[in-house]
Amino acid sequence: MNRATAAAAAPAPTAKPVKTSGHGGPTDPSHDEHLRRGIIHTDVSRGMAIAITSFFLLLIFAVPVSQAVMEKARGEETMLLDIFHRAPTRDNLKQFEDDLDKASYAKDAVQPRMQALLTRLGRVGNKKAVVGHGGWLYYKPGITYLGGPGFLDPNILAVRIKASLDAGEPAGHPDPRPAIFAFADALGKRGIKLILFPVPDKAMLQPLQLHGRGDAGRPLPVPHNPDWAPFVAEVRGRGIAVFDPGPPTLLPGEPPRFLVQDTHWTPEWMDAVARQLAHFVIETAALPALTTMIGQTSPATRQAVAMPIERVGDIVDMLKLPEAETIFAPQRITVQQVQEANGTPWESNPKADVLLLGDSFTNVFSLDSMGWGEAAGFGQHLSLALGRDLDVMAQNDSGAFATRQALARELAGEDRLAGKKVVIWEFASRELAVGDWKPIDWDAALAAAAGAH
Amino acid sequence: MVFSSQIFLFYFLPLVLCLYYALPFRARTAMIALSSYVFYGWANPIWAVIMFFGSSVDYFCGLALVRFAGLPDQDGLPPIIGPEIPRTRKMRIVLAVSIVTNMGLLAVFKYTGFAAENVNALGRALGMGHDLVPVLHLVLPVGISFYTFKAMSYAIDVYRGEARPMRRFTDYMCFEAFFPDLVAGPIIRYAALEQQMRERQHTWDKFARGVAFFAFGMGKKILLANPMGHIADTAFAGGALHVGDAWFGIFGYAFQIYFDFSGYSDMAVGLALMMGFVLIQNFDSPYKADNITDFWRRWHISLSTWLRDYLYIPLGGNRKGPVRTYVNLMAVMLLGGLWHGASWNFIIWGLIHGGMLAFERAQGKNSPYRRLPHPVRVGITFIVVCLSWVFFRAKTLGQALVYFKSMLGLATVTSAADSVAGAMYTPYHGAMFVLCGITVWGLPNTWAFTNKLSVGRSVGGMALLALAILMMWTQTVNPFLYFQF
């Protein structure tokens, strides 16, 4: 076959010879010789070529050299030698690269300032944070849940499994239903009622500050993921109670339900939700009269004490801005700390007949390290509204499995479900679309609990 | 390792350049081979072992071809197997071994899962209640599609007498594992590099041009592709969207994939130049194309020429009549689609392009389309390319169809879609979107732009590089899109 002829008659790439300027362009036959011999023509003066080369070398050497100088000056050991102390496995190499990134003085100096500039001038967030209007910040996975496709769509579930496998991770369990049903069944065997409480996302209840679309003077429907309604119907169809505190519409002039720069709710709305949930619990589960319970303290003597708190929200932390940055002013709120009659903060009671499994929504005003006060959280206010003690197990993040897993582990040593009538399972609704709903061997856990009992 | 990462830019690259210029010429090739394996194995050392296996087979196949040709060395070099030498059965077997090894690697890691899923789906459609075959899910080694195609070109070029094989194992390792183009191309054919492996010049202007390529490539990736990726990722993570948002999202993806991939190619060309190698041009302002045929002359040129030379022409090209030509075009583009990924979306993407190539060829040079003003034709071509990108970007066929409905205003859109828009539109991303448009349609491509490095262009290029590095630190590591293929 005559290749030159064949090439000229070939499809798209050869139908018309590509016009080139002799600088080693596309693989047109006329350039093969130049290409084979590694010739490239550049119109540049020798001085400029040396200047460009020098600048480049200076740039790429400056960072490691300055890093070494800084480490020497501060008496730190260089990170670089770590590479020789670890086996060259995928995880070790990834860890080394991450550590190198974290230890970088250049990155430390540049990243917060550049982020501040971009956020101030262009409303730029990052992988986790979305910058809305008027200083409002949003957590991106919440938006992914709300605006994304139905979280029960079999194709979407398959895509999520494949994404985990492609990343070299275990397949994961994207479908929330098996985990929820199994948990409800396990609790049912112990005569315990499960109440599911997916907390609505900030983007659902503060939508105008996110997208700026729509008329702020008119009622707005609360948006939902397309599979929310079918999910709730299916779960309720299995006899599991679902508590949804979201209003049907958002009315003009309503106070915000979420903190401006934080993923979590305001203390006021949290308190209102706690009271709604208390009614729901009483309606849903026939709880015994308080006087018949053993080990209960006297809830009637508890009081809520107002405490002002001021800080920027957790989404500002995610943006990693300079510490002195003033783009986002701290938000001042008042939390209501729940105290016993003697002034000591409220404490969870493992013997209570209601167990609350929660995530950071439960913790936000009760876990001191979250910066919004302590003993003023959802558990405390739910306890106050129920007028009885409450057992609380809460862990930030991974609401899809963290507390279930913790409960199952605890059952091996102590029967945390003993005497329980109701388990309230609170988690962020975004978990329905992004969470890993790991299965738990409840038969084994309950058997272990029986043994412990 | 990713070019636009701290580990590559400030540790790997300075070390490699130091070693390269400190070593004598013959040792440089071995050093590049070794550093390329470190570069590749960084993400997963097992992948380097897989590549080493494939490379070893190809290397010995090259030597075997020469041995079976029975030719003596020419001027101390392995001989070229000229057209006068009959290709024996043994030589054909050796060629087949190389091709089967490479295609086998590709098939095992890329296509077995897809094939098994479809067999099972067929079984279910026929009423079988269980899976017929187990679905293995193997993690796809990064860049396997690129280096297997490159490796196949070695055995084929040697067999065809278009290049001489390599005697030194490290030379061959250097060719196949060459880190600048290893994981996302350009797909360098062996014939184009063979002579450069033995002799190449190192000059100030070559290095400076390399720096300029790298600077513009880095700028494309960090300053344009990644912000456009934010738009596209947000849009495609959504369900049904408003019409304008859907179009904004797909235009964002069109810009993202162009700047991401051409940025990578520029950086690869630049890095190679710094070590004296000249690679081929992979992009020639593809969105300035005024028809799909023209688009494929400008987009991923190394792949389209590979498919032309090693697939389309062996299939008969256009030498067997119009119908066969159309079939060949469709077949080549379908396989080109499958090369990108094992899914029906890529097959449909390939068929759209194959269909358009066949349609345009059938229309001939006097079609009414060609009488339209040039900007209109460019616009129409861009829209067609964008429509095909929907299949390329969507994760499932269902998602692609929902996205199409959104673009046409036929989707059932709720107020939840506004939240997607809220995450998509920011002043910064809007400004970058406009800048992408200006760059795509108003500026020359990198090859033409860096051909003359005036003071202004040089200063601009270096400023761009510095800005890109500053911006790199604000972004989490964002791998190049073509790493997944």
Which residues, in sequence order, are CB contacts of A388 under 8 Å at separation 6+? A287, A290, A293, A296, A299, A352, A353, A354
Relative orientation angle of helices B374-393 and B344-363, to the nearest 10 degrees = 160
**In chain B, what residues touch A46 (CB-CB under 8 Å)?**
204-205
**What is the token pair recorded at B79?**
């001989």
CA distance A153 to B481: 26
Rounded alpha-carbon distances, angstroms, from residue B336 to A147, B180, B349, B353: 33, 23, 9, 10
CA distance B139 to A59: 36
Per residue in B6-49, pLDDT (tens digit) is 999 999 999 999 999 999 988 999 999 999 999 999 989 999 99
Rounded alpha-carbon distances, angstroms, from residue B405 to B360, B395, B408: 26, 16, 5
Per residue in A321-372, pLDDT (tens digit) is 998 888 999 999 999 999 988 889 999 999 999 999 999 999 999 999 999 9
Q: With contact defined as beta carbons under 8 Å apart, do B301 and A26 qualify?
A: yes
Q: Which of residues 230-259 of B touch A (CB under 8 A)?
A: 234, 237-239
Chain A CA closest to residue B309: A7
Q: What is the ipTM of this complex?
A: 0.92
Which of B393, B443, B408 has its CA nearest to residue B256?
A: B393
Q: With contact defined as beta carbons under 8 Å apart, do A443 and A373 qualify?
A: no
Higher pLDDT, A186 or A166: A186
User: Residue A308 CB: number of other CB atoms within 10 A?
Assistant: 9
Determine the 3-state secondary structure of B99 from DSSP. Answer: helix
Determine the 3-state secondary structure of A282 from DSSP. Answer: helix
Per residue in B226-237, pLDDT (tens digit) is 999 999 999 999
Q: Residue length, chain B?
A: 485
Which of B257, B250, B286 has its CA nearest to residue B446?
A: B286
Model confidence at A290, pLDDT cuts 50, 70, 90, reads low
Residues forming beta bridges with residue A309, ordered by sequence position: A333
Would you state the pLDDT for residue A436?
Answer: 96
Residue of A80, A86, A97, A151 to mutate when probing chain B, most B C-beta within 10 A:
A97
**What is the token pair recorded at B431?**
């400004």
Which of B89, B102, B88 has its CA nearest to residue B57?
A: B102
Per residue in B114-146, pLDDT (tens digit) is 999 999 989 988 888 788 898 888 888 999 999
Residue A18 has pLDDT above 50, yes or no: no
DSSP code, position A127: S
The verdict on a CB contact (< 8 Å) between A130 and B423 is: yes
Considering the candidates B230, B340, B353, B429, report the single residue annotated as catalytic. B340
Interface check B455 vs A, CB under 8 A: yes
CA distance B223 to B201: 32
DSSP code, position B77: B
First to last CA, chain A: 85
Rounded alpha-carbon distances, angstroms, from residue A304 to A338, A345, A362: 4, 10, 17
pLDDT average, residue stretch B251-268: 97
Q: Which of residues 202-221 of A touch B (CB under 8 A)?
A: 203-204, 207, 210-214, 220-221
Percent of chain B with pLDDT over 70: 100
Q: What is the DSSP code string of A42-67?
A: -B--HHHHHHHHHHHHHHHHHHHHHH
Model confidence at A453, pLDDT cuts 50, 70, 90, reads low
Antiparallel, parallel or unpaired: β A137-139 and A129-131 = antiparallel
Omega before B186 within 30 of 0, i.e. cis: yes
The verdict on a CB contact (< 8 Å) between A11 and B308 is: yes
Interface check A89 vs B, CB under 8 A: yes
The verdict on a CB contact (< 8 Å) between A52 and B309 is: no
Q: Is B340 a catalytic residue?
A: yes
**In chain B, what residues touch A53 (CB-CB under 8 Å)?**
204, 207-208, 211
Buried b (16+ CB within 10 A) or exposed e, B56-93: ebbbbbbbbbbebbebeeeeeebbbbeeeeebeeebee
User: Residue A91 CB: number of other CB atoms within 10 A?
Assistant: 11
Chain B CA closest to residue A17: B297
Which of A151, A389, A139 has its CA nearest to residue A261?
A: A139
DSSP code, position B71: P
Instruction: Classify residue A283 as exposed, middle or buried by CB count within 10 Å of its CB (0-12, 13-18, 19+).
Output: exposed
Per residue in A192-223, pLDDT (tens digit) is 999 999 999 999 999 999 998 888 889 999 99
Would you state the pLDDT for residue A16?
Answer: 38
Per residue in B390-413, pLDDT (tens digit) is 999 999 999 999 999 999 999 999
Q: Please give the single-letter amino acid code of residue A283.
A: E
CA distance B305 to B137: 31
Would you state the pLDDT for residue A11?
Answer: 37
- H helix or E strand, kind and range, residue A21: none
Which residues, in sequence order, are CB contacts of A129 under 8 Å at separation 6+? A137, A138, A139, A140, A315, A318, A319
Residue A2 has pLDDT above 60, yes or no: no
Higher pLDDT, A292 or A110: A110
**What is the token pair recorded at A450?**
């029986």
- H helix or E strand, kind and range, residue A16: none
Interface check A52 vs B, CB under 8 A: yes
Per residue in B164-210, pLDDT (tens digit) is 999 999 999 999 999 999 999 899 888 888 889 888 999 999 999 99
Rounded to 5°, the CA angle B390-B396-B397 comes to 70
Q: With contact defined as beta carbons under 8 Å apart, do A128 and B477 qualify?
A: no
The verdict on a CB contact (< 8 Å) between B462 and A24 is: no
Which of B212, B149, B194, B35 has its CA nearest to residue B485?
A: B149
Instruction: Classify residue A195 as exposed, middle or buried by CB count within 10 Å of its CB (0-12, 13-18, 19+).
Output: buried
Per residue in A29-38, pLDDT (tens digit) is 556 778 778 8
Model confidence at A82, pLDDT cuts 50, 70, 90, reads confident
Distance of CA A422 to the CA centre of its chain: 27
Considering only CB atoms, A53 lies closest to which of B194, B211, B234, namely B211
**In chain A, what residues touch B342 (CB-CB under 8 Å)?**
none
Rounded alpha-carbon distances, angstroms, from residue A30 to A369, B14, B197, B308: 69, 35, 21, 17
CA distance A422 to A280: 12
First to last CA, chain B: 16
Relative orientation angle of helices B322-340 and B144-160, to the nearest 10 degrees = 130
CA distance A285 to A192: 9
Buried b (16+ CB within 10 A) or exposed e, B25-46: eeebbbbbbbbbbbbbbbbbbe
Residues forming beta bridges with residue A304, ordered by sequence position: A338
DSSP code, position A200: P
Determine the 3-state secondary structure of B157 from DSSP. Answer: helix
DSSP code, position B225: I
Chain B CA closest to residue A19: B284
Determine the 3-state secondary structure of B305 from DSSP. Answer: helix
**In chain B, what residues touch A99 (CB-CB under 8 Å)?**
none
**What is the token pair recorded at A403?**
């507390």
Which residues, in sequence order, are CB contacts of A11 under 8 Å at separation 6+? B293, B296, B308, B312, B317, B318, B328, B329, B332, B357, B361
Which of B57, B268, B283 has its CA nearest to residue B178?
A: B268
Would you state the pLDDT for residue A334?
Answer: 96
Percent of chain A with pLDDT over 90: 72
Which residues, in sequence order, are CB contacts of B233 under 8 Å at separation 6+? none
CA distance B188 to B201: 19
Tell me phi and psi for residue B106, to 5 degrees: -65, -45
* H helix intervals, A167-303: 176-189, 202-205, 207-211, 228-237, 267-284
Would you state the pLDDT for residue A25?
Answer: 40
- H helix or E strand, kind and range, residue A426: strand A422-428
Residues forming beta bridges with residue A137, ordered by sequence position: A131
CA atoms within 13 A on the CB side of B178: 34
